[in-house]
Amino acid sequence: MPDISEYVVLFHGNLGMGERLQSAQQRRGIENTPWDRLQHVVFVPGLFHLKMAAADAIWRIFLQPNAARLDETSLMQDVGISRPRETGHYGSKPGFHCMHELIMHDSICCRLDCWRVEAGKGDTKWTSLEEFAGSESTWKDIKAMAHTLARNYIAGHQLWRMRRAPAAQRDVQYENGLLLNKYVLIYEELSYAMNIGDIGRVETCLVTLIPMFKATGKHKYANAMTDFLCKVHFMYPEGLKLTIGRRAVHYHIMVNPTGKKGKFRAVDWCVELNNLFTKVTNGGKGSNHTVSRIIMESPLIQIYRNLHTMFQNDFLHVQQTTKHAEADMSKMFQVLCRHMRKHSSNEVVKGRGSHYSIPEVLAKGQELMEKNSVDNEDGGQEAAIREGEDEHPSVDDVAIELVW
């Protein structure tokens, strides 16, 4: 048998792939050697599918409930302005690409409106961002305003006090806007960290996303990410901790196929791209689109891509690619910002109610996780402690590990 004590094999994929791998390891648990027990196989959850799950969680919070679409300051009203022909699509089950663009574009307009409101508080003469931009404020003043925006326009500890105030003093739509700013910024930070290859920041985002997944019914992702983080930081043997915990996983969970700045991609994204070339682009058409044809041509995919590149270079078609330029959204952003200004999306209007109060899913998710932790302790954790075994680490332990 080969000696695999110093080596591991990383398997990247979605949660379905992880479940199959776990099933295979459990089925081979009675074998005699580590090789036969597949102990050298380490599953790494694909971050591209994780990003899709995060976008779907935001859809479940702000777009899935019918009552959440009725307020003038709701996310669905913004969809009606920026994408008036796609409201039905967003109300049913939009794909990842649609949700990603909506989150990015709407969050830009929300922040621009927050800057306008805060600038007006500093000086009443600044009634628009254009006037504020022409005021030639110092960098120190801009940084101070940015810190104020982070404290006052994102849901934090002050939300609890707001929701306990009398109805005449509350602004439920403003509270919903604070939660929207909070959750889209979490998604944006995850997306930015993945693009620049900052796996440490990705892990800190995971600690925040796990309760969100738990509260929105995505329990498989919550459990899988918790298990992954705990294994990486606490459960691997000391002899392999440096290899697995800091190098093998951290250095290979993201790749940069082009070598350009800000172009890191998750490994499962590359797998999906290869599936596109294998099954769709070069998988045959009509009656030729069969499993046998796909298997036969799969080894030639890279050759086809190399030929396309050679033809593009020889015939000077390098710039004539299928990649479209980014759309100019400046006019649409102006329209959306005017809508937010008209309905005071980021300003407090005392006594303003709402058809639907957005729940604080992070607090709800943490409550569910604590309940599950108590149930586990009542079931088998206490017995393990009596036998001298260590308690299982939790997300809180991972958060402390990442901070310190």
For the chain, the first-to-last Cα distance in angstroms comes to 41
pLDDT (tens digit, 0 to 9) for every residue of the chain, 404 residues total?
666 667 788 888 889 989 999 999 999 989 888 888 888 888 889 999 999 999 999 999 999 999 999 999 999 999 999 999 999 999 988 989 999 999 999 999 999 999 999 998 888 788 888 888 888 888 998 999 999 999 999 998 889 899 999 999 999 999 999 999 999 999 999 999 999 999 889 999 999 999 999 999 999 999 999 998 888 888 766 555 445 545 677 778 889 988 889 999 999 998 888 888 888 888 888 888 888 888 888 888 888 888 887 887 777 666 666 666 778 889 999 999 999 999 999 999 999 999 999 999 999 998 888 887 766 655 555 554 445 455 677 777 777 777 66
Can you give the pTM of this predicted structure?
0.87
Q: What tokens were used for 189? A: 């930070």
Tally the C-alpha atoms within 13 A of residue 96's C-alpha that lie toward its C-beta.
10
User: Could you tell me if 41 and 9 are in contact, meaning their C-beta atoms sit under 8 angstroms apart?
Assistant: yes
User: Could you tell me if 182 and 153 are in contact, meaning their C-beta atoms sit under 8 angstroms apart?
Assistant: no
- In 3D space, the residue among 116, 115, 97, 94 whose CA is nearest the CA of residue 105 turns out to be 97
Q: What tokens were used for 21? A: 């791998």
Q: What tokens were used for 233? A: 């930081």
Fill in the amino acid letter for 7: Y
Element (H, E) at 368: helix 361-376
In angstroms, rounded to a whole number, what is the distance separating the alpha carbons of residues 32 and 48?
Answer: 36
Q: Taking the mean position of all CA atoms in its chain, how far away is CA 92?
A: 20
Tally the C-alpha atoms within 13 A of residue 176's C-alpha that lie toward its C-beta.
27
DSSP annotation of 234? I
User: Could you tell me if 187 and 58 are in contact, meaning their C-beta atoms sit under 8 angstroms apart?
Assistant: yes
In angstroms, rounded to a whole number, what is the distance separating the alpha carbons of residues 145 and 135?
Answer: 14
- In 3D space, the residue among 364, 362, 340, 348 whose CA is nearest the CA of residue 71 turns out to be 340
